[in-house]
Amino acid sequence: MEHLSQDEWVSQLENDDNAVIIDVRTDDEVADGVIKNAIHIDIYKGQEFVDEIEALDKNKNYYVYCRSGNRSGQACSIMGQLGFENAYNLEGGILEWEGDLVDLD
């Protein structure tokens, strides 16, 4: 797991053809908008969260964020324990995000 600043996160993401963005916030938080192309997997769902993460392709690179960077850091740590080698936490989370947000499709 790596903690990346927004600039590092965006730069790396834009040059990564194997990238998946994960939003680990709650349903209420996600209703305020998500980073484009993000998939929503709520970390507070406990075992259901773990089950959804385990179903993901371990060969992808995962860019993970939450509201402030704390839960996404926890999510990246869990992903590491589950055998994911490339999980990148967005430091500062959505609170410090300067890019656009879209409605979750």
Strands ordered across the beta sheet of 61-65: 2-4, 87-90, 61-65, 19-23, 38-40
Reference 90, options 67, 62, 71, 64; nearest CA is: 64
Q: Which one from 66, 78, 79, 87 is the annotated catalytic residue?
A: 66
* Pairing assessment for the beta strands 2-4 and 19-23 based on DSSP bridges: unpaired
Active site residue 66: yes
Catalytic residues: 66
